[in-house]
Chains A and B, each alone.
Chain A
Amino acid sequence: MRKILKTYKPFTHAGLLMAAQYRANFFFFILGDILMCFINYFLWHAVYNSGSAESFKGFTEVDMVVYIFISFLTTTIAYSDGTYAVGEEIRDGTIAMRMIKPIRFELAFLFQELGERIMTLFLVFVPLVSGVEIYKFVMTGSVRFNIVNFVLYFISLTLAYLINFYFNVCYGYSAFVLKNLWGSNFLKNCIVGFLSGTTIPLAFLPPVVSAVLNFLPFATLSYIPVMIYLGMYAPVQILYSFGLQIFWLAFFIALQQIIWNASIKRMSVQGG
């Protein structure tokens, strides 16, 4: 483990520097995306005004607003560029070079991305979490910050990032078939966005659909961490959720390895 850290630490440093270089760009980009949260905020506000009930499916208006922003935060932090990175390498052929390098391709990339993630964490995490907590305080008149939930959320968020990273690397291999990286990435993002509950909490979907989606890996990317933050899960359910996250993480690591081995074989047969 220590050896791994030593080998790959420079990548993290490089990622951090790169992210710092482009932070102004990144800032504008995030600002554009955060607008979506405000649209949803107003939309839900109107929904709660129009309905007769205080809460829908156990979500009060305050819960829903927290849900919107924390789920945005979660997807932003757990974001991974793995699909593009792998896709570009396949498209320009450099992936063949990876076979002769003494470092593991996905680990080098993971550590580089961790550097960027740290930068993102600084830029969005603190302002969003404090914003949400202040909003909760103003709306309810009492401090409702739960440190245990927060710590559990952070663990779950970390797992979500790792799952997303390996999932994206696996998906990146689709570039062997699809050349339109922009299109296929966009398609993936909008489907995953829906399945992971960022569009609407999974609880709002028909019970059968919701039950299935709750088990799929996508729920572990956003829905589960956010529900933990909201304190909507009982201890048993939290334990079960961590189990599910670990299961899917192991699944995608294994899948990544299998595809990688298969493509090495394929490349050595076809000669890259």
Chain B
Amino acid sequence: MIYVENLKKEFKKAIKEPGLKGSLKSFIKPKNEIITAVDDISFHVSKGEILGFIGPNGAGKSTVIKMLTGILTPTSGRCEINGKIPYKNRKSYVKEIGVVFGQRTQLWWDLALRETYTVLKEIYEVDDESYKKRMAFLNEVLELDSFITSPVRTLSLGQRMRADIAASLLHSPKVLFLDEPTIGLDVVVKDNIRKAVKAINAEENTTVILTTHDLQDVENLCDRIVMIDKGNKVFDGEISMLKTKYGQSREMKFVPEDLDAFNNLDYLGEFNLKDSDIEVENDGHTVSVRFNSDAVSVEKILNYTLSKTHVKDINVKDADIEEIIKGIYRSEVKLDA
């Protein structure tokens, strides 16, 4: 379905020196440096899969998506989707994909939303019959009815995002690219969007590639994630794998009766731990203990704590994907991918 092999993208960037003299210098003799945004990335996606594409800001996510959608031409390497090479067979290729960029709309600002869809119908050559059916389906999933006659510029962010997603699906694409589809939205709208994406994926077996900063999106939607950092792939696999492999981090929260008793506890000495294996945080009301469950078991921590102090409440948290990913970003968790 989607094959990406050794994909690489370099950008040329002019170096600007500060001040009047500097700008005069760069005007006469411009200096360039080459920035590698994406460095040798390979992965593949099968039909009907929802793939989460994650990584910190500037990791190269958008650059990869832009190469996969035919916007950017790769410096080297190849990608093939539905047997087509995006930047080579652009016009016929983009007929089979849908693209949504959360940061900017692709709808026509001044046209009424309905009018926008009429334009898209023509551009993608959707026949009247399928168009009618399609609009009915999208209307049901994305609830466009209440604002379909308004000009795009008057829509709220949530409405606009729904409209954008509908626009990208009008021609029944085989692959849907969503770049930050929930950015800036409130919890309820985010939830609606996720449901819609799920429904579309279930209904038509549409392959979905999703980039996001919201890890709820990933947990809710994705079967698999590819994580990149500084232009390189650092993880590729199922979320459950990420959890069993790297999810040793546990967090326990205690609400003690007597805070002073807690200060006398010495986890490090008792279990002979390294500094990096445990972290204790005291906010004056709750005490949080984060530790590596490979180094010391949950049971041992619990027994030790309860034997020395009295607590009013205990809360044990499971491996949280957010914590794991944060750890990987901070390169605390070692990867052997």
Q: Is the interface of B mostly helix, strand, loop or mixed?
A: helix
Closest B residue to A21 using CB positions:
B23
Inter-chain contacts of A24 with B (CB < 8 A): 27
Is B24 in contact with chain A by the CB < 8 A criterion? yes
Closest A residue to B21 using CB positions:
A20
Is A23 in contact with chain B by the CB < 8 A criterion? yes
Contact A17 B20 (CB under 8 A): yes
Contact A23 B27 (CB under 8 A): yes
Q: How far is the CA of A31 from the CA of B23 in the complex (A)?
A: 21
Interface size of B in residues (CB-CB distance below 8 Å): 4
Question: How far apart are A228's CB and chain B's nearest CB, in angstroms?
Answer: 33
How many residue pairs bridge A and B at CB < 8 Å? 8
Question: How far apart are B18's CB and chain A's nearest CB, in angstroms?
Answer: 10
Inter-chain contacts of A20 with B (CB < 8 A): 20, 23-24
Q: How far is the CA of A17 from the CA of B23 in the complex (A)?
A: 9
Inter-chain contacts of B27 with A (CB < 8 A): 23-24
Q: How far is the CA of A37 from the CA of B24 in the complex (A)?
A: 28
Closest A residue to B19 using CB positions:
A17
Q: Can you list, as one digit per residue, whether each of B161-183 has a CB less than 8 Å from chain A (1) or not (0)? A: 00000000000000000000000
Inter-chain contacts of B23 with A (CB < 8 A): 20-21
Q: How far is the CA of A103 from the CA of B23 in the complex (A)?
A: 30
Q: How far is the CA of A17 from the CA of B20 in the complex (A)?
A: 6
Inter-chain contacts of B24 with A (CB < 8 A): 20
Question: How far apart are B208's CB and chain A's nearest CB, in angstroms?
Answer: 38
A1-46 interface (Cβ within 8 A of B): 16-17, 20-21, 23-24
Inter-chain contacts of A17 with B (CB < 8 A): 20
Inter-chain contacts of A16 with B (CB < 8 A): 20
B16-45 interface (Cβ within 8 A of A): 20, 23-24, 27
A51-79 interface (Cβ within 8 A of B): none
Inter-chain contacts of A23 with B (CB < 8 A): 27
Q: How far is the CA of A16 from the CA of B24 in the complex (A)?
A: 13
Question: How far apart are B26's CB and chain A's nearest CB, in angstroms?
Answer: 10
Closest A residue to B20 using CB positions:
A20
Q: How far is the CA of A21 from the CA of B19 in the complex (A)?
A: 9
Inter-chain contacts of B20 with A (CB < 8 A): 16-17, 20
Question: How far apart are B114's CB and chain A's nearest CB, in angstroms?
Answer: 25
Q: How far is the CA of A16 from the CA of B19 in the complex (A)?
A: 11
Q: How far is the CA of A24 from the CA of B27 in the complex (A)?
A: 8
Q: Can you list, as one digit per residue, whether each of A133-163 has a CB less than 8 Å from chain B (1) or not (0)? A: 0000000000000000000000000000000
Closest B residue to A22 using CB positions:
B23
Q: How far is the CA of A24 from the CA of B23 in the complex (A)?
A: 11
Question: How far apart are A206's CB and chain B's nearest CB, in angstroms?
Answer: 46
Question: How far apart are A260's CB and chain B's nearest CB, in angstroms?
Answer: 31
Closest B residue to A17 using CB positions:
B20
Inter-chain contacts of A21 with B (CB < 8 A): 23
Question: How far apart are B17's CB and chain A's nearest CB, in angstroms?
Answer: 12
Extra 6 A-B pairs, beta carbons < 8 Å, given A20-B24, A24-B27: A16-B20, A17-B20, A20-B20, A20-B23, A21-B23, A23-B27
5 contacts between A and B (CB under 8 A): A16-B20, A20-B20, A20-B23, A20-B24, A21-B23
Give chain B's interface residues, CB within 8 Å of chain A.
20, 23-24, 27
The 6 closest A-B pairs by CB, nearest first: A20-B20, A20-B23, A21-B23, A24-B27, A17-B20, A23-B27
